Structure 1
Amino acid sequence: MTTGASSDPRLRDLTLLRRVRDRIDREFAQPLNVEALALGVHMSAGHLSRQFRAAYGESVYQYLMTRRVERAMALLRIGELSVTDVCFEVGFSSLGTFSTRFSELVGVPPSVYRDHGVDVTEGMLPCIAKQVYRPIRNREAWPPRTS
């Protein structure tokens, strides 16, 4: 009888999910999809999707979009690239999709963010700046409706 992580399917799945998340963090600008990510950890796409959402509270796609938008926010704050250049730099293939996803997560279009964003992170510890600028989906930030 074996003990440890190899005998517990939940721990094995969490290890594989961590690998997927780490791959997204490293390769966010590359063309990634659930099928390719699942293949990399020898899971079906459906199983990966269900397990990822259960473990991290968001879909693989949402996690990928958040990583891309976080990087885009940093590049736009620097201000050296155009919005179009930033779009392609972070892995989007469509400026329209980039603008839509950015607006959903940040609350303003990327051009507005670039033109009016002030780098308030100057002098701030990087770990705090990361939390301050972590995109939040608008619908998550909305106050609950009362009827």
Structure 2
Amino acid sequence: MKRARLSDRRGRISQVGGSSGRSARLRDLALLRRVRDRIDREYAQPLDVEALARGVNMSAGHLSRRFRAAYGESVYAYLMTRRIERAMALLRRGDLSVTEVCFEVGCSSLGTFSTRFTELVGVSPSTYRRAAAGTAALVPCLAKQVTRPVRNREAPSPSSS
């Protein structure tokens, strides 16, 4: 990488584009992986951006910006995707009601859970639960792959199918 030489008002020369910027980026990526891993492990716990940021000694704003730049979605969207993936597995199992699944995956509002589930999956949780009876015979790892939620509101609307 080319390094540019800059001088400040006092004539001191400094290097720009050196390895300190690269090491800061690598450190940030390692911290972001820790946040992502924590979300994957503790998705059912009450998590918010401030608590996650405190865990890696970042401000909430900095974590939000860096997370979106690294992973292409917000911290909240990533957390909700993990929760919806787990909810889909619980709904396929069929022994819990939609309300029980909602609270089991860490959501505190049934309305928010249902709305986000519908955005990601394309059908409501109850519709998914009824239709999931057909995937009960699939091996769990295959069922997870086939029924993985679509991120960022990409699910087709039921009327356009």
Question: In which range does the TM-score fall when normalised by the shorter chain?
Answer: 0.7 to 0.9
Task: State the secondary structure of the residue aligned to 1:62.
Answer: helix
RMSD of aligned Cα (Å): 2.4
How far 1:34 moved relative to its partner? 0.4
Q: Which residue of 1 aligns with 2:79?
A: 64
- Of 23, 26, 40, which aligns to 1:25? 40
What is the total number of aligned residue pairs between the two structures?
Answer: 139
Point out where structure 2 has 5 or more consecutive residues left out of the alignment.
Answer: 1-18, 157-161
- Partner amino acid, structure 2, of 1:44: S
Instruction: Give the whole-Å Cα distance in 1 for the aligned partners of 2:140 and 2:101.
Output: 24
How far 1:120 moved relative to its partner? 2.8
Q: Which residue of 1 aligns with 2:117?
A: 102
Cα distance change on mapping 1:124 and 1:78 into 2, 3 Å? closer
How far 1:119 moved relative to its partner? 4.4
Task: Compare CA radii of gyration and give the structure with the larger one.
Answer: 2
Aligned partners of 1:107 and 1:138 also within 8 Å: no
- Of 25, 39, 60, which aligns to 2:54? 39
Cα distance change on mapping 1:45 and 1:56 into 2, 3 Å? same
How far 1:130 moved relative to its partner? 3.2
In the TM superposition, structure 1's runs of 4+ consecutive aligned residues that sit over 4 Å from their partners are: none
Cα distance change on mapping 1:121 and 1:14 into 2, 3 Å? farther
Which structure has more strand as a fraction of its residues?
Answer: 2
Q: TM-score, with normalisation over the residues of structure 2? A: 0.78
